[in-house]
Amino acid sequence: MSAWEEQVAEVVAAATRLTGEPIDTVSQIVRSRFALANDEQQDRLRQSALARMTGHGLIGELLADRDVDEVLVHRGGEVWTERAGRLEYRAEISAGELEVVLERMLAGSGRRLDRSHPVVDARLPDGSRLCAVLPPVAVDGTAVAVRAPARRRLRLDDFGPPEVVEQLAAAIEERKTILVSGGASSGKTSLVGALIDRVPKEQRVVIIEDTAELDPQHPQSVRLEARPRAEGIEAVDAEDLVRAALRLRPDRLVVGEIRGAEVVALIQAVNTGHDGALATCHSNSATDALARLENLLARSMPAWSAEAAREHLRMSVDLLVHLRRLPTGQRLVSEIVELTPSGPSTAFEVTRG
C-alpha cells in the first residue's frame, strides 16, 4: 500500500469511530492529523476518504482513472488493476469495506449477492460491468472483477490493416451474417460496436445481451437485456429475447454472446430472412468457434445429427472473425474465415507473434 493510500485508510478508520455526518468527521480528522498538508492535499484527502465512506471506495477511485480498464479483487482483499493489458497490484481492501462497496454498487440493479445467491453479474449505472463471487464458491475469498466502460470508442480501423477493414465494411454492406470470436477481453464487444456503426442509419438494429455492454450510437438501435430468475420473478433469457426481437421489426439482429439455446433461435431467424446478423462467442480460434456452435446446436436440438447442425451453420453464418489481444493491450483481427457450402476457407490470417 502506498503512503497516500495509507493516509486515506487512516482518515477513514478514524472517522468511522466518530459520530456525526461523514463530511464533518472526515474534515475534522484531516484538519487535526494532517495540519501540515497544504489546502490542495487536504481537499484531495477529504474527497478520497468520503468516497470510501459513502461511495465505491478504493474500487471507485481506481475506476475513475481513465487509463484503468478493469479492477480486480483476488482472495478477498488484494486489489489489482488492468492497464494497457497489464495487471498491476495496487493495494489491500478489508473484507468489511469490500462488502459495503459491493452492496452499494448493486443497489438499484435488481441483482442479489448473498449466501443464497453467491454469484452476480450486473451492469452498473455508469456502464461498468461487475462480476462477483462469494465464498465458499470462491474458495480463497471473495473474487471481484469490475470492467470500466469503454473510455474511447473504437473504430473499425483500430482492429486491423486496411484490407481487413475493407472486407468487414463490405460484409456489413452486403448484409452478411458475422460471428465474432475470441478469448476474454479480446475486444469482441468493441468490434461488434464498430460494426454496428457501419450499419446504414435507416436500418433498425435490435441488440440482445445477457448483461448490456454495447452502447451503440446508431439512431435506430433497440437494446434488450436478459433478466435472471429472482423470488417471485420469472427469468427472461437470451432465447426469449431473440424471439421477442423478431417482433420488433429488426433489420439487423445482434446477440451479445452465444452460450446456449439462443443459437437455435438466431439461426432460425437468419434462415427465414433476417440476414446481416452479428453475434459473438468465446473461443481460441475461428474454427473452434464453429465447433462450439455445433456443440451448442447439438445440445439444444438433440434430434439433429452433427452433419445437420453443421449444414445449418454453413447456411446461416457467412464470416467467422477471430480476435486476439496483443501484450500491449491492443485488440486485432487475427483471422477471417468464410463459410461456404463446401466448408470453411480462410480469407485472412495474420502471423501469430
Amino acid making up residue 79: V
**Confidence at 195, pLDDT banded by 50, 70, 90:** very high
One-letter identity of residue 260: G
The answer, yes or no, to whether residue 143 has pLDDT greater than 70, is yes
What residues form DSSP beta bridges with 150? none
pLDDT at 220: 94
The residues near 304 (Cβ < 8 Å, ≥ 6 apart) are: 297, 298, 312
pLDDT band at 352 (very low <50, low <70, confident <90, very high): very low
The mean pLDDT value of the chain amounts to 86
Query: Which of the following CATH numbers is that of domain 62-150: 3.30.450.90, 3.40.50.300, 3.30.70.100, 3.40.50.2000?
Result: 3.30.450.90
pLDDT category of residue 98 using cuts at 50, 70 and 90: confident
Half-sphere CA count of 48, side-chain side, radius 13 A: 21
C-beta of residue 312 within 8 angstroms of C-beta of residue 301: no
Secondary structure E strands in 183-229 = 205-209, 221-225
For residue 170 the three cell numbers come to 463490405
Cell numbers placing 130: 461487475
Consecutive H or E run containing 80: strand 78-83
pLDDT at position 353 is 35
Strand bridging mode 178-182 / 319-325: parallel
Is residue 175 over pLDDT 90?
yes
Q: What CA–CA distance (Å, rounded) separates 101 from 103?
A: 5
Taking residues 192-208, report their average pLDDT.
Answer: 95
Angle at which helices 262-270 and 306-316 pack, to 10 degrees? Answer: 50
Dihedral of alpha carbons 47, 52, 58, 61, sign: negative
pLDDT at 118: 93
Residue 103 has pLDDT above 60, yes or no: yes
Instruction: Supply φ then ψ for residue 44, to 5 degrees.
Output: -65, -40
Is the entire prediction scored with pTM above 0.95?
Answer: no
Question: Which position has the grid cell 460484409?
Answer: 171
For a pLDDT cut of 90, what percent of the chain falls above it?
35
Give mean pLDDT, residues 172-178.
95
DSSP β-bridge partners for residue 126: none
Q: How far is 76 from 298, CA to CA, in rounded Å?
A: 39
Task: Return the pLDDT at 131.
Answer: 94
Instruction: For the beta carbon of residue 349, count every other beta carbon within 10 angstroms.
Output: 13
> Which of 3-17, 216-230, 239-253 is least confident?
3-17
Question: Could you tell me the maximum CA-CA distance found in the chain, to the nearest angstrom?
Answer: 77
- What is the per-residue pLDDT for 2? 67
Over 70: is that where the pLDDT of 231 sits?
Answer: no
The pLDDT value given to residue 280: 93
Least trusted range by pLDDT, from 24-38, 63-77, 96-110: 96-110
Structural domain 156-349, CATH architecture: 3-Layer(aba) Sandwich (3.40)
pLDDT at 17: 82
The domain locations on the chain are 1-54, 62-150, 156-349
